[in-house]
């Protein structure tokens, strides 16, 4: 009779130990790696303007670490990713580069690099570039 209760007690203790060990392991995993990141839907689009005059700048190439080449700015300084919305991790940072590719046609502008959080990509970007010289 005592053997029966002893075996039941051992099984119960093994079950409890296993359950608490698994729970402790899950807490340790979450503490080390955190909760899974949330994704958001964001469209990569915006406008590039001159830093001093606030006028739109045409003919600049916008690239990002998300998709590579995004677009070339139009006469109103607008650019947009042709793929539309993308799923991005909300706390990640993405890098953007604006490069003058048309030479002096619309004036020479410095290359501009910036990093932007994905959460800030839910609104159109406002990028400003510095003019080096006027158009010829």
Per domain, the residue ranges of the chain are 1-35, 39-133
Closest CA to 44 of 76, 67, 73: 67
Beta strand 39-50 with 125-129: parallel, antiparallel or unpaired? Answer: parallel
Q: What's this model's pTM, rounded to 2 decimal places?
A: 0.68
Q: What percent of the chain has pLDDT over 90?
A: 34
Give the burial string for 3-20 (b: 16+ CB within 10 Å, else e): eeeeeeeeeeeeeeeeee
Question: What is the band of 45 on the pLDDT scale with cuts at 50, 70, 90?
Answer: very high
| Fold category of 39-133 in CATH | Immunoglobulin-like (2.60.40)
């Amino acid at each position: 009779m005592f053997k029966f209760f002893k075996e039941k007690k051992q099984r119960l203790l093994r079950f409890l130990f296993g359950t608490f060990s698994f729970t402790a392991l899950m807490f340790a995993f979450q503490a080390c790696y955190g909760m899974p990141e949330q994704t958001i839907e964001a469209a990569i689009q915006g406008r590039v303007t001159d830093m001093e005059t606030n006028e739109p700048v045409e003919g600049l190439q916008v690239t990002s670490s998300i998709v590579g080449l995004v677009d070339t700015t139009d006469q109103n300084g607008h650019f947009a990713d042709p793929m539309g919305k993308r799923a991005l991790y909300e706390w990640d940072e993405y890098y953007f580069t604006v490069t003058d590719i048309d030479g002096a046609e619309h004036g020479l502008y410095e290359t501009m690099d910036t990093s932007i959080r994905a959460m800030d990509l839910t609104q159109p970007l406002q990028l400003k570039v510095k003019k080096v010289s006027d158009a010829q």
